[in-house]
Amino acid sequence: MVKLMLALDVTDEKRAIEIAREVSPYIDAVKVGYPLVLSSRLGIVGEIKDVTGKEVICDFKLADIPSTNEKIASLALRYGDGIICHGFLGEDSVRAVQEVARRYGEYKKVIMVTEMSHRGALQFLQPVADKLAKMAKRLKVDGVVAPSTRPERLKTIKDIVGDIPVMSPGIGAQGGDLNRVLDILEEEDYIIVGRDIYESENPAKRAKYYYHLLRD
Ligand code: BMP
């Protein structure tokens, strides 16, 4: 079964906790990024984990030299079960994050971005995305991010990374075609959905809709 990761990009801490609690029966994981952390504090990641009981991934899209990536990852992984980093900075910047993850006693995921879902990704990122996917495979990262907005690219990247789980944003607000995406994704993969759930009138109901859809 393809899993559902909620992108909790709300900037009101109280509302974030509320939504997290309401949708928790219907989701498999939560992705917390700059909008929520910068409007509250890093510890919110731990609170979201406590409230949902689900895996929480820090989406900080690390894009720096190894030593700075290392510092940010060390802080984020105190609370998060995983962290998202960019690959275009090169192998050493990703390896630095993997090194931090390995030092934690428990399993922490390092997830690498390949191609992004927005139009601007065509400009610079897409031309190198296959190479990034090959690097992700070589480094044996724990997941890659690839776009639901371009199913043919999602398929190519999935074929390159093989058994590495794919986490795919672009369903809902960005207009990705869920049926096509579900034809490509497999058991250990995730769709990432944000606004379509947290901006809906009834987030729990919307999350439940995805919950059933992924099980059909
Ligand atoms: P939404 O469903 O509201 O479009 O949210 C998608 C989430 O996935 C956002 O947190 C966004 O930052 C993230 N994301 C994305 O949309 N495209 C990418 O290529 C990579 C992302 O992390």
**Ligand 1 within 6 A of 101 CB?**
no
* pLDDT score recorded for residue 63: 98
* pLDDT score recorded for residue 99: 98
**Ligand 1 within 6 A of 147 CB?**
yes
Number of folded domains that form the chain:
1
Terminal Cα-to-Cα distance of the chain (whole angstroms): 9
* pLDDT score recorded for residue 124: 98
The rounded Å distance from CA 132 to ligand 1 centre is 18
The rounded Å distance from CA 166 to ligand 1 centre is 14
* pLDDT score recorded for residue 52: 98
Which residue puts its alpha carbon closest to atom 18 of ligand 1? 116
Name the residue of 38, 192, 197 whose CB sits within 8 Å of the most ligand 1 atoms, as the mutation to test its pocket: 192
* pLDDT score recorded for residue 105: 81
> pLDDT grade, residue 171 (50/70/90)?
very high
**Closest Cα partner for 157 from 193, 195, 196, 131?**
131
Q: Which residues contact 205 (CB under 8 A, 6 or more apart)?
A: none
Asked if pLDDT for residue 87 goes beyond 90, the answer is yes
Average pLDDT score over residue span 124-137: 98
Averaged pLDDT of the chain = 98
Parent domain of 86: 3-215
Average pLDDT score over residue span 115-137: 98
* pLDDT score recorded for residue 213: 96
Asked if pLDDT for residue 216 goes beyond 90, the answer is no
**Closest Cα partner for 7 from 186, 201, 167?**
167
Q: Residue 104 belongs to a domain with what CATH number?
A: 3.20.20.70
Position of tokens 């371009």? Answer: 150
Which residue puts its alpha carbon closest to atom 8 of ligand 1? 169
Q: At what angle do helices 91-103 and 66-76 cross, to 10 degrees?
A: 30
* pLDDT score recorded for residue 174: 98
Average pLDDT score over residue span 167-178: 98
